[in-house]
Structure 1
């Protein structure tokens, strides 16, 4: 969870001996154990870890943060299915956090200065239920890692279009965010839509992408050649990440980073579809394959019924 001041990741990487590294970590651990401030904070549950600073330090360490993204991208088929490119190590860094359930942003708050509440972070494949992702998340872009004029953020579900896996469902798209600004200064092409994994479809991947670019980009609705999705409202959100990038002449390996979480059905999905969208909920059920004993029993019953059938 990060290192104390004076012992940065760069200092530890310069230590050639693993034994010396273990001694330093043991000394830091003993020091923290006898620190009265940390002890008091742990006892009264008041210790707060600066997640953004820890994430930024972890990301700048190429041996841990960026290589972790490379492995996760390969495992979840981000490069192969969505970006359709060779695996690469992302450069940009950004954090995505969801506010707690039932939280409503006040007029005094802004995207640059959110309230001090417990946020649920989007990491690299953690599970977040739809009820916890019902409201628009907070996105913090680290502009110090690139020199482009604009940035764009979008959220896509590669498992949402059940009829054809080459298409996705676009849940959010904010383009052309000026350098140094927040998402409120960008162009909202698609309003945020909460995750809607249907009953019986298992875990869905929800991927946040950060694009860095120098020229303003445009968005054109993707027309699917396959049949319509089970919900007609999803037709206007059919999307292809690779086509969107190629239309804007964006090379993924140079300027695209990602975060992702997984989500599966809960009761809030049914409530949202019925009460908000006023539509029936799609229901999928897995057909359990028959065992060898069941297949044999069915064949015997079929033979007997044919043998003693009255003609």
Structure 2
């Protein structure tokens, strides 16, 4: 994570656990390259969780609109809080999952998953974003989020990289953007 500059772009210290993230048979592994087409559906995610502890999972892209010009750093792709154990489907969806959508010609983007252990159940004040809105997605900060809710350092993390493919316009249309035309 240091070599890929996730530290310090998103977090200060590497998590002790590698988060298990799978898109069907495809596994995310510390920066491997996947395509937006391959990651269009929500992945399965697992970590060594305590059964009666609460967790929050986030997925962000720190490279929006590009790695060199990260004006919208970070872009929130998915966030689920109040996950009991690692039962994500029973957690509180704060930001619905949206797959990778890097602009054409902007190169590889990093898509970073982090899991934080919560100090207890939390009443999140972030606006909830469905899969058809940009609201609450651009200029998200994992560091500030973790500080606001006293989450400390992440306990697990992983990331993949992706660049534009023919599925990206579908993502942008879903979010109601016309970024491809700019």
Contact 2:22 2:28 in 1 (8 A): yes
Q: Deviations over 1:121-180 (max 9, x none)?
A: 01100001000000000112222xx5871122110000125565473100000111113x
Map 1:170-249; keep pairs closer than 5 Å: 170-179=76-85, 181-221=86-126, 233-238=133-138, 239-249=140-150
Cα displacement (A) at 1:213: 2.4
Which of the two has greater helix per residue? 1
- With normalisation by structure 1, the TM-score equals 0.51
User: Is 1:138 aligned to 2:66, yes or no?
Assistant: no
Structure 2 runs not aligned, ≥5 long:
128-132
Aligned counterpart, 1:262: 161
Cα displacement (A) at 1:279: 4.5
Pick one of 68, 79, 94 that aligns with 2:7. Answer: 79
Contact 2:112 2:159 in 1 (8 A): yes
Contact 1:122 1:260 in 2 (8 A): yes
| Secondary structure of residue in 2 paired with 1:265 | coil
Aligned counterpart, 1:160: 64
| Secondary structure of residue in 2 paired with 1:133 | coil
Give me the whole-angstrom Cα distance separating, in 2, the residues matched to 1:78 and 1:218.
Answer: 28
Map 1:8-157; keep pairs closer than 5 Å: 73-83=1-11, 85=12, 87-88=13-14, 90-99=15-24, 119-143=25-49, 149-157=53-61
Q: For the aligned residues, what is the CA RMSD?
A: 2.6
Aligned counterpart, 1:32: none
Give me the whole-angstrom Cα distance separating, in 2, the residues matched to 1:207 and 1:260.
Answer: 4
Considering Cα pairs closer than 8 Å and 6+ residues apart, tell me whether 1 or 2 has the greater RCO: 2
Of structures 1 and 2, the larger Rg is shown by 1
Which of the two has greater strand per residue? 2
User: Is 1:280 aligned to 2:178, yes or no?
Assistant: yes
Structure 1 runs not aligned, ≥5 long:
1-72, 100-118, 223-232, 285-311
Cα displacement (A) at 1:81: 1.3
